[in-house]
Structure formats: structure tokens, C-alpha cells
Amino acid sequence: MTIQSRNPGSDENDLPRSLSIEDPTSLSEEDLRVAALLQGPTDLPTLASAVEAQEAADAADTLEILEESEAADLLETMDIESASEALSEMLRPLGLGVFEDLIKENPVYAGSILEAMAPDDATDFLQGILPAMRDRLLGEMSAGRAGLLRGLLAYDEGSAGGLMTTDFLAVREEMSVSDATDAIRRSAVDGDVHFAFVTDWDGRLRGILSLRRLLLASSEELVGDICNRDVSAIPPDLDREAVALEFEKYDFLALPVIDPTGHLLGVVEVDDVIEIIRAVTAEDAQLMVGAGAEEAVYSSAYEKLRGRLPWLIVNLVTSSLAAFVVLQFDDLIAEIAILAVLMPVIANQSGNAGQQSLAVTLRGIVLDQIRPKDSYRLILREGLVGLVNGLVAGFFVGLAVTIIGMFSGRVEWQLGAVSAIAMTFALTIGTISGATLPLLMKRLGADPATASTIFLTMITDSMSFLVFLGLATLLQGWLL
């Protein structure tokens, strides 16, 4: 669909849009109605009513194609429940922009939307806005809700405490099945819930109970007698990547978060973990090339510059090392000009081999597949792979240089042999470097992905040039 800007002559309360739908069969009846409304001038109440009828994810898509101020006006016209669900489904950078506009226009309504949101989603929005806005919103909320969100904001957003929600079912172990069923019916917990957590009178976690088991039990039985006492739990300060590994390893749908004394604080759900995996994957990909870990497509120019410029300067310094290596052999290159043609070929192959090794090693670290005692064996294995690949690639590059020399008469077979040897060493070095760098960064306490591509390129380029040109210098008399 193609969206054009607002018609300058339109009425202030209209949201005219030109919308072309490439595949209308993929849209629901509600989506088609919204699309039709967006094709021409539409008053806000009519559009708001249509968007409320959409699924929350589809309503979020509708909000995302509008200007931030327009989306904020639309949210303000929708009912609280629909508005909060649609806003929480929006891409976070876009949602924050719309939410900030809404705060400026109507902070009371913005606070009401947060009150209607799941606690973990509300916390995400509060963490993304300025502290002054945050305090203003919390002041508009009820004391109980504001206290709950302040408690969640106290946890680091990258920890289990920062991810958890307090919107979960809990029943006491002393309850009868009948009393527990009544308590669950009175509960305000929304969503697709399949089990309840079991606690004692002090709120300490004692077990977990599936709702199916509860329904099948006799009404006089005690919850403590039918619940599963074998329940896994995580501390609130556990890093988000470690949380994701727990879910991946044991196929959890939810994990309770407890304090050191066993009190149930909240629950991390699988949908939050999916977001973690997506965020960590994007973060690692950006860190590898020296982009800001938190940078998004819609980040401001200042945020993009702040994340990228320092690493570009680092890259400038590190790439100068390779240039310095080449400068030491300028006389040799002037005498055997064909070396300048072969240098980037060898460096490129070494860099590519290093990237392959780097990607595999990073994956192993992220999935917690690499133990410290296995590091040396991993590096040796990668080195062996690099050596074999180097021998094969070296044979082909040496053969190619020799054949070209035979037909052109400009180079001799000796240069092909030097190229083959250099290629073998360069690929071995590149592969070992790709495996070693993330392991070394982790050992130093840094993110293994941090600027790994930049440092790997420095090593592979510098060492490739040094090996190739150094070998050519040693055998210069043989080559001429």
C-alpha cells in the first residue's frame, strides 16, 4: 500500500489518505473498511470506530502508517482498551513517538492508556520516555498502579525483573479447589492463561497448577495437594539473554521470578522472550559492524551518529594499520606491479573465512554451547578448517596465476606458488582470528559481538598483506 501525505486543504479533523491495496484478499473485512476510509477524507470518530474493530496487531499497522500527531489524535478518540492494545502492538520506536505526542496533548488520557496496558508493556513505554514525562504520567495514575510500575521500573530493563509482568494468576496452597476456582473467576487477569502459581500465605512460591487439573479435581481437595511442587524459577537480576536460554532449553511458556526469600515477584512470558531473541539478534548484528546496539530504523540522526561515529573513527585507525603494512613494501610493489592485483584477493578470502568462523563462534556463545574448557579445542578445530580451506583456495589461486602467466607472458609460475602459500597462511590466520576474537571479548567481560567485524578486518587485512608481501620479499630474487 502507498500512502501520500495529508491534503493541505483538508479540514483539521480529517485524515485524508491515498491508499492502494496490492492484495485485498489478504485483508479481513475490518481491514478493508479501514483501508477504504483512509482513501479519502474521514472524520476521526468514524475511523476510530473502524480501527477498534480490527485485531490489535492490525490496528497497530494502521496507526503506524499515520503521522505521529494523527495517530495520537486517533488513539485519543478510541476507547481505552482498544487504544492500549493497539499502542502496545506498535513497533516500539514508532509507538514511543506516538505516545510522546499523546502525552503532550492529553497526559490524563495517556496515563489512562498505561493503566489499561499489561504491566510489562506499560513499563516498556515508561522506560522509553524522558524522566520528566515519566513522573508526570505516574502522577496521573492511581496510587496502586503508579506504585506497581515504579517497582517494575526499579529493575534493569535488560533483566528478568525488567521483563516480567505482575499480571498473573496465583492461588494459595491452603485453598480448597472450590475457593481457588472462585478466586480465579474474580481475577482481572486477561489473556490466554493455562495455569496458576501456588503460594503460601506470605506470597512465597510453592508450586504450579494447571487450570485443567483444577477443573478435574474434587471441590474439597486442597490446592497444595494437587499442584506440581517441581517448579523452576529465576531471580529478577538474571540477564535477558540467560532468560531466553532458559526458555529455549526447557521449552517453558512462562517462568516465575522470585526474590532471594522465594517471594513471587512476577512472571516472564514466552512472547517477551521472542522479543528478546529478536532484539539480541539485531543488537549483535549491529554491534559486529560498529553500529549502536540500541539504534533502530526510526532513531534520530543524533542517536545514529552517537552510535556509529566513534566506531568509524576506530575503524579508520585500525584500517590505517593495513595501509602502513603495504607502505613498507612500496618499492617491491613498484617493481612487481601484479602484486597489487593479488593482494586484495588474498585479503578478501581471509576476511571471508574469518567472518564464517566469527558467525559460528558467536552463535555458539549466544546459545551457551561453548564451555571455557572447550575454547582451545574450538580454536584448534577452526584453525584446521582454515588450513584445509587455505590449501584448496591456494591451489586454485596459484593455478589461476600460473595459467594467466603462461598466456600473458607477464608473470611466472613462481608468483603462483607464492600466492598459493600466502593464501594458505592467510585463511588459517583469518579463521583462527574469527574464532578467537569473540571468545577473548567474552573473557574480558565485553559483549562478544562488539565491533568484532572491525577488529577482524584489521587482523585479516594486515596479516594477509604482511604474509603475501613478506613472502614475496624473501623470494624476490626467485620471482624476478
- In the predicted model, what is the mean pLDDT of residues 447-460? 80
Report the chain's terminal Cα–Cα distance, integer Å.
64
Q: CA 21, CA 36: separation in Å to the nearest integer?
A: 10
- In the predicted model, what is the mean pLDDT of residues 10-28? 48
Q: What is the pLDDT of residues 66-81, one digit of tens each?
A: 988 899 999 999 999 9
Alpha helix segments (H runs only) across 20-118:
29-38, 44-52, 56-64, 68-77, 80-89, 92-105, 107-116
Q: Which residue has the higher pLDDT, 16 or 51?
A: 51
Q: Where are the beta strands (DSSP E) in 229-383?
A: 254-258, 264-269
Give the max Cα distance, the chain: 98
- Pick the range with the lowest mean pLDDT from 132-146, 389-403, 442-456: 442-456
- In the predicted model, what is the mean pLDDT of residues 43-58? 90
In CATH, the architecture of 301-479 is Orthogonal Bundle (1.10)
Q: Do the beta carbons of residue 17 and residue 36 sit within 8 Å?
A: no
Q: What's residue 240's pLDDT?
A: 84
Domains 24-154 and 301-479 share a fold: no
- In the predicted model, what is the mean pLDDT of residues 424-445? 90
Q: CA 12, CA 43: separation in Å to the nearest integer?
A: 9
Q: Which residue has the higher pLDDT, 311 or 434?
A: 434
Q: What's residue 77's pLDDT?
A: 92
Given a cut of 90, whether residue 395 has pLDDT beyond it is: yes
- Residues of the chain with pLDDT > 70, as a percent, come to 86
Q: What's residue 275's pLDDT?
A: 73
Q: How confident is the model at residue 5 (pLDDT cuts 50, 70, 90)?
A: very low
Q: What's residue 16's pLDDT?
A: 40
Q: How confident is the model at residue 8 (pLDDT cuts 50, 70, 90)?
A: very low
Q: What's residue 189's pLDDT?
A: 72
Q: How many residues can be counted in the chain?
A: 480
Contacts 24+ apart (CB under 8 A), 124-130: 124/92, 124/157, 125/87, 125/88, 125/95, 125/96, 125/99, 126/153, 127/153, 127/157, 127/162, 128/92, 128/96, 129/96, 129/99, 129/100, 129/103
Q: Does domain 170-278 have CATH number 3.10.580.10?
A: yes
Q: What's residue 299's pLDDT?
A: 62
Please list the residues that pair with 20 across neighbouring strands: none
So where are the chain's domains?
A: 24-154, 170-278, 301-479
Q: Which residue has the higher pLDDT, 401 or 42?
A: 401
Q: What is the pLDDT of residues 330-380, one digit of tens each?
A: 888 888 888 888 899 999 999 999 989 988 888 787 767 787 778 888 999
Q: What does the mean pLDDT of the chain come to? A: 83
- Pick the range with the lowest mean pLDDT from 203-212, 223-232, 284-293, 317-326: 284-293
Q: How confident is the model at residue 233 (pLDDT cuts 50, 70, 90)?
A: very high
- In the predicted model, what is the mean pLDDT of residues 253-280? 85
Q: CA 254, CA 232: separation in Å to the nearest integer?
A: 10
Q: Does domain 24-154 have CATH number 1.25.60.10?
A: yes
Q: 3-class DSSP state for residue 15?
A: coil
Given a cut of 60, whether residue 22 has pLDDT beyond it is: no
Q: CA 360, CA 429: separation in Å to the nearest integer?
A: 16
Q: What is the pLDDT of residues 411-425, one digit of tens each?
A: 567 888 889 999 999
Q: What is the pLDDT of residues 284-331, one digit of tens each?
A: 555 555 555 555 665 667 777 777 777 778 888 888 888 889 888 888
